Structure 1
Amino acid sequence: MTEFGDLISALGEFGLYQKLLILFLSLPLFLNPFQMIGQVFMVVDVPHHCDTSWIRAIGPNLTEEEQLNLTLPRDADGEYEQCSMYSPVDWDLGSIVAYGLNATEKCSSGWVYPSGQPPSLLTEFDLVCDRKDLNDISQSIYMLGLLLGAVIFGPLSDRIGRRPILLITILLHGLFGVGIAFVPHFYVYMAFRCVVGASVSGIMIATLALATEWVGVSSRPKAVLISHCCIAIGQILLAGLSYGIRNWRLLEIAGSAPMFALFFYIWVLPESARWLVTKGRIEEAKKVLQKAAAINKRTIPPGLLEQLTPEKQTKSGSALDLFRKKHLQKITLIMSCAWFADSLVYYGLSLNVTSFGLDIYLTQLAFGAVELPARICCIFLLQWFGRRKTQGFLLLLSGLMCLVITGIPEDQPIATTVLAIIGKFTATASFSTSYVYTAELFPTVVRQTGVGLCSMSARVAGIIAPLIHLLEQYHRAIPMAIFGCAPVVGGLLCVLLPETRGTDLVDDTGAASPQLSSRRPEILSTRDITEDGVDLKKDVYRSSESE
């Protein structure tokens, strides 16, 4: 199916049809940050202490300050302990006041939070003290959902198509995202978040394939990264929305319900013509290609369409080909490492906004704002310097920023935040580069399987990232040191990869490496062309040898 690039050139490499497609593919990505980062704003730490209302049965007229003074121990700073209390006794109030209480125990009757506090995950499900780690665990469960989504929806997209996977995952995202707002228990919350994570992964995988396979060689980075800019805009919107909506259930609805507005995709979303041809569904491919050409106000020469025959159907690939064939094995292993490093540093910084010492809403706004230029810059970096150099350099730089943070004193929050923002910029750009680079490296028949496998590696890193934060209790520099070392190693490995700038997409697993495109669209003047005895008077495209 080496002629497919000619068809894309004939119908227009990045015409109105592709622009509309990219717009549609971008819409669900606006909501991804609400699921990925939103929980950070639902578990904002607030002052709390053990519920010691047991003493009210003995001294009903005690003021709140007197109650706390009698029932709660104090820490070294003179503040009330948040996770321990004096053990209840059956003494009279006079004896308690005279002798005081000495024996302590963990909170046995729950906790008390400031009155008037909007409902949050922390206050509603008591994510404090011994239950505090459930917050990081639930983030890892969400990342596990992303992993499952890559495992399930990557190969499934190669099997049944990009379009049905995108429709299914959008529906799952909307249903379970809104369902989270009504869960009665935290473990149900984690289960629903796992399903939402799987749907987010499926959406990312399907949009990447459609954005890549419908455009020409020179427009691939632009198509993918324009859609990724919507993720950056979503991060900015998240900062404002979470600042305005402090009730976690309402925030969850606001970040999920708009997904139902995308039901019109059933009628407008096309299947990948390139994928249809690899599956031998030639007539369906011709219809969508002709529709695309009509919207772009172009005409595909009939002779070019006739080259799409079932006999030229590409042999199907499988996940085993990614390891059975030597060139694909190297690509799979190195890109899996790159995605792992991307994800580790990206989520390591994104989920750590509460630890940099500045206002979390301003920090998130800065983190979101810096993603937009990061993704836009990628469009030019990939064209100027190629995929391999860009990928390696951005990974190295993001890792170095994290390593530098480990040496910044704890009383310098501004310096730490500035370095974290630079690290977020390079990590975001590196992640976007990985999407473009990976889609170009893998053949069409296993493209989604390959992307799904690399995405699995990223999701493993996403699962680990929140848990690495728990190591901060041993030394504050340990998490950042880990987040810094991984991308440095990944960046060095990238030198072993082939370059894909200016190459055609490979369709089967036999090609050892992407081939430089020998075509550039060149429109001929209107003239007579004789084909099978029929004169065609129209503008046609031809493939000419590249200079």
Structure 2
Amino acid sequence: MNFDEILSHIGGFGKFQKSLYVWICLPQILLAFHMLISVFTGAVPPHLCRSTNTTWPLTASSDPPNFNFSLVTGPDGDPGRSCSAPGGIPGTPLAQLNHSTALALSDSHATEGCQGGWEFSKETFHSTVATEWDLVCDHANLNNVGSSIYMFGLVVGAVLFGFLADKYGRRNIILVGLTIQSTCGVGAAFAPNFYVYVFLRFVVGTTISAVIMNAFVLGTEWTGSKHRMLAGIITDYFFGFGYIILAGLAYLIRDWRKLQLAISAPGFLFIFYIWVLPKSARWLMANQRYEEAMDLVRKAALMNGKPLREDIEICQGYKDMVKIEERTKHTVIDLVRTPKMRRSSLIMFYLWFVNVLVYYGLSLNISDFGMSIYLTQLIFGLVEIPARTITLFTLNRSRRISQIAFLAVGGLACLLTVFIPDGTELSRQNSAAFNVPFKVLFINILRYLISYSIPLALKRLQLTEVTVREKSI
């Protein structure tokens, strides 16, 4: 008797599993915050050089009166106008420059470097990482480097915390991950310089993988096979909710340090998980902690209203199964060991790579879509909901046909955006309001088709489901 059969005796998705998924789902909201916060904290508002020959009586919270930043920076953020200061007219307040004068100065060959720094528009953001540390012009790439280092943290975390979870248990790694995530997230809000900020964000990135991977595996280990797909997708709904909530928080909090603090500090509330988050019975059995594992099984059975009889066959049968599994430990190499497994794994790896590349390429660059960054973020979050819902109706059918269809339609939607004319405010608004949500809808659909088809495809190859799922993730 294997553990899935034990779950069928005690209830595969009863009260115990539902309460477990509540604890698993809540952190997903904060994970979405941390994944997408750089859209707002790293935004680069319209800016221009301070000229030594031009006065600008700015206050701390407003742009120069009656001055339009587009006169100097240009509609497309022309770096020639924002990265060099015009010679200017000595003593002329910049706020008094009209359209023709501003363009004449910005197009003039009499320019100087931005020796006095930059002035940033405060129309959308009061402050961002870019405005505080002048990550523009020659230093503009530092912003992108910071985002890349954060994403690299996800890779490091996936490897590091994956191995640590095998040794110390998924529950412990989730708790450690949430603690480090909250601590470093709050620390980033008080970072004294850009390099400390990037390092703390890197550490936060590692904990994202720690929580996502181990929460997913912990949930599936306690859920019956008939309910795993539904249960897994339920957790992803909360990632979409995080999208939506973040749009509102960012709209209300325009200062990047306060926003960073607002999304990080609530993580300390998860301290009560020490008392409510259960351990993995499979992991306990694999580490010869049989009595502790069976105590958890009995607790789950009692909560589900199906008390487990003292059946020695169940306990002994599972011990025998664990001993067999211990003699045939699965590793990452098993994903490419046989020709059939290798072909399927390589296809899945490629699909996941392309999917994430496009998904986060869109999600992290919403400021380029031509309408309010807050409204675009809200639309992206709302689109997540139907994308996951459609997945529920497609994964039970032909996964191969579903993947091919949505990859084709999603790719076509992305290609069609190339032919949308740009250059006018109306065209940019139309692109964002109609094409972008349409495009992201299909990107989300194919993303979750791929992610949930991976464990199901691996199961068809008759490998130990949970072990291989963890290694493949």
Q: Unpaired runs of 5+ in structure 2?
A: 56-62, 92-104
User: 1:359 aligns to what?
Assistant: 372
1:416 to 427, 431, 453: 431
User: 1:542 aligns to what?
Assistant: none
User: 1:337 aligns to what?
Assistant: 350
User: 1:240 aligns to what?
Assistant: 248
One-letter amino acid matched to 1:108: Q
Equivalent position SS for 2:112: strand
CA–CA distance in 1 between the matches of 2:194 and 2:391? 39
CA–CA distance in 2 between the matches of 1:225 and 1:138? 30
User: 2:111 aligns to what?
Assistant: 104
2:413 to 398, 401, 410: 401
Instruction: Write out per-residue CA displacement over residues 453-503 of structure 1, whole angstroms, 9 at most, x where no aligned residue.
Output: xxxxxxxxxxxxxxxxxxxxxxxxxxxxxxxxxxxxxxxxxxxxxxxxxxx
CA–CA distance in 2 between the matches of 1:404 and 1:219? 38
Are the aligned partners of 2:366 and 2:373 in contact in 1 as well (CA < 8 Å)? Answer: yes
User: 1:528 aligns to what?
Assistant: none
CA–CA distance in 2 between the matches of 1:76 and 1:166? 48
Q: CA deviation at 1:105?
A: 3.4
* Distance change (3 Å), C-alpha of 1:74 and 1:311: closer
How many residues of Structure 1 are paired with residues of Structure 2 in the alignment? 428
User: 1:82 aligns to what?
Assistant: 82
One-letter amino acid matched to 2:82: Q
User: 1:425 aligns to what?
Assistant: 441
Q: CA deviation at 1:18?
A: 0.5
Percent identity over paired residues: 38
1:377 to 384, 390, 401: 390
CA–CA distance in 1 between the matches of 2:143 and 2:81? 21
The two structures have a TM-score, normalised by structure 2, of: 0.83
One-letter amino acid matched to 2:215: T
CA–CA distance in 2 between the matches of 1:424 and 1:229? 16
Q: CA deviation at 1:311?
A: 6.8
* Distance change (3 Å), C-alpha of 1:81 and 1:271: same
Residue 309 in structure 1 maps to residue 309 in structure 2: no
CA–CA distance in 1 between the matches of 2:33 and 2:250? 9
* Distance change (3 Å), C-alpha of 1:130 and 1:397: same
CA–CA distance in 1 between the matches of 2:302 and 2:73? 74
Q: CA deviation at 1:307?
A: 1.5
CA–CA distance in 1 between the matches of 2:439 and 2:194? 33
* Distance change (3 Å), C-alpha of 1:331 and 1:280: farther
Instruction: Write out per-residue CA displacement over residues 204-237 of structure 1, whole angstroms, 9 at most, x where no aligned residue.
Output: 1111101212111221111111011000011000
User: 2:24 aligns to what?
Assistant: 25
User: 1:284 aligns to what?
Assistant: 292
One-letter amino acid matched to 2:419: G
Alignment of 1:120-159 (within 5 A): 120-159=128-167
CA–CA distance in 2 between the matches of 1:184 and 1:76? 32
CA–CA distance in 2 between the matches of 1:76 and 1:209? 50
Alignment of 1:34-49 (within 5 A): 34-49=33-48
The two structures have a TM-score, normalised by structure 1, of: 0.72
Alignment of 1:483-498 (within 5 A): none
Residue 439 in structure 1 maps to residue 465 in structure 2: no
Q: CA deviation at 1:153?
A: 1.8
CA–CA distance in 1 between the matches of 2:126 and 2:252? 11
CA–CA distance in 1 between the matches of 2:121 and 2:446? 42
The answer to which of 254-263 and 118-127 deviates more is 118-127
Equivalent position SS for 1:49: strand
User: 1:488 aligns to what?
Assistant: none
1:389 to 382, 387, 401: 401
Q: CA deviation at 1:192?
A: 1.1
* Distance change (3 Å), C-alpha of 1:391 and 1:114: closer
User: 1:523 aligns to what?
Assistant: none
Instruction: Write out per-residue CA displacement over residues 96-134 of structure 1, whole angstroms, 9 at most, x where no aligned residue.
Output: xxxx99643321231123579622222111122222222
CA–CA distance in 2 between the matches of 1:389 and 1:160? 40
One-letter amino acid matched to 2:226: S
Equivalent position SS for 1:112: strand
The answer to which of 116-125 and 23-32 deviates more is 116-125
